[in-house]
Homo-oligomer: A and B are copies of this chain.
């Protein structure tokens, strides 16, 4: 941490800061410049944060230097992690595809979508039973009925299930059906929910908030990790910008940036970022080429009849084109498509 003194700060101001830092158990190194003095702080950053240094006379700015997350940081955990979802790996060396319907509507639709997911190269099934919707008048999901459908389709297809949880009170319920808990973009700073999934015994798929910096995203992961759950997969899904041609702007750079800062795997959601079916394939290819550890994709047997986000669900020929891309592209980057689990491996 660096304290920047104002040009008009005097010797007493500087000494006051040095004393404060010492009182918090830290060390302070003073660099006197021509127009300004800066003070380098060494010690426990969390302690320094509590000092409110900005409030002291003569202080112009306080600049944090080190990263505020620890458990998810790559600084003390250099090798990138592999997270396993009911045996399916997500991490370096592989490309793992998660696919399925945005929303579970019926048993038949979900099973058909799961078969499409398999054709698209998926080894994990996605599907929403609890849906966070912008409008209170929109379909809110089937709830536990939907979870049961997902479990049945898992039994039928062998695909472990990834599904969203939106309320701390239902984490236990969702955990009893799901293989991986998804925290959605609007919940990324729902700290009560982060703590609840941090105490669950299932891996977590943490979507980036559409307005969150990479640092805030990693801090949200730190919340989960701090409760003891380090099985976290990060998911870039587009951020909010001024551009309106796409629903959100896929921040493709966030993939290598987050992989450099954190040891956690990073996957991409090309369906929700663009919000348009015709962008899913180019964005999927871009994500693989940028080094993503996986993809999560909406598919639907009849997009025009979908109860949610039908505009972006893949169907028909797109499925086979995606299946082809996820097989060939990763090899150029030293990865292999994660195969579905062997039937024997499914619990």
Q: Which residues of A contact B (CB under 8 A)?
A: 2, 4, 7, 27, 29-36, 38, 40-43, 46, 49-52, 54-56, 61, 63, 65-66, 68, 75, 132-139, 166-169, 186-187, 189-192, 195, 209-211, 213-216, 219, 222-223, 226, 239-246, 249-257, 260, 273-274, 278-279, 282-283, 285-291, 303-307, 310-311, 328-329, 332-333
Contact = CB atoms under 8 A, between A and B. Distances in A.
Given A31-B42, A55-B304, A68-B135, 18 more contacts: A2-B2, A33-B66, A35-B66, A36-B66, A38-B65, A40-B40, A63-B65, A136-B191, A136-B195, A166-B192, A167-B192, A168-B169, A169-B192, A213-B242, A215-B245, A240-B242, A245-B254, A257-B279
B222 A243 contact: no
A303 B52 contact: yes
B279 A285 contact: no
B219 A134 contact: yes
A156 to B, nearest CB: 27
A273 to B, nearest CB: 7
B310 A55 contact: yes
Contact of A286 (B27, B214, B252): B252
Contact of A311 (B32, B52, B139, B239): B52
Contact of A166 (B136, B166, B191): B191
Q: How many copies does the complex hold?
A: 4
A260 B242 contact: no
A41 B37 CA distance: 10
A118 to B, nearest CB: 23
Contacts of A332: 328-329, 332
Nearest to A226: B136
Given A222-B136, A333-B285, A249 B241 contact: yes
Contact of A241 (B46, B135, B138, B242): B242
A217 to B, nearest CB: 10
Contacts of A290: 282-283, 285-286, 289
Contacts of A242: 211, 213, 239-242
A241 B251 CA distance: 10
Contact of A257 (B36, B246, B256): B246
Nearest to A238: B253
A196 B256 CA distance: 39
B213 A243 contact: yes
